[in-house]
Amino acid sequence: MYIENKENAESLEVLTPAHFLKGSSYTKFPEPGITHLREDRLSRWQRVTQMQQHFWKRWSSEYLSLLQERSKWRVETSNIKVGRIVLLKEDNVPPLRWQLGCIQEVIPGGDGVIRVAMVRTATGLIKRAVAKLAVLPIDSEIVGTLPLPTGGVCSEQIASA
């Protein structure tokens, strides 16, 4: 399926999932945020852009959070442990930009449930609520024993040479 490019009516552009999620391709410059403006003061294009921005904000904050199963109240889970590898969740930052860290210390509450942890990141030690941490399903003991990639030529290419 093709759509016309509004800058040049003669060129055609392939319709991708980005057009539905973002309203345009990822190579276009984003429209300025206009969700705070009154509807009666907007042009037709600005109104469409505002509706798209409202949709994106609600979809990213409401629907995406439903995709992660919340078994917290149904299944007994163990507390977070020192040495676990985690991502530090940030609002308004895509998950691929979240900082990677390692739990250095845990701070239990009065009921013995750990709600705060000290996390070592590339920038230093950060105190963070456990609710704002995403534990990666990696055994940190195994990670320490894995050989690090050296880059360059594959070992199979060296053996066959």
**Domain check: are 59 and 17 in the same one?**
yes
Overall domain count for the chain: 2
Residue 37 lies inside a defined structural domain of this protein: yes
Which two tokens mark 152? 């360059």
CA angle 88, 91, 92 (to 5 degrees): 125
Cβ atoms of 119 and 126 within 8 Å: the answer is: yes
Predicted structure pTM score: 0.43
**Out of 97-101, 109-113, 129-133, least confident range:** 109-113
**Out of 27-36, 62-71, 84-93, least confident range:** 62-71
**Domain check: are 55 and 9 in the same one?**
yes
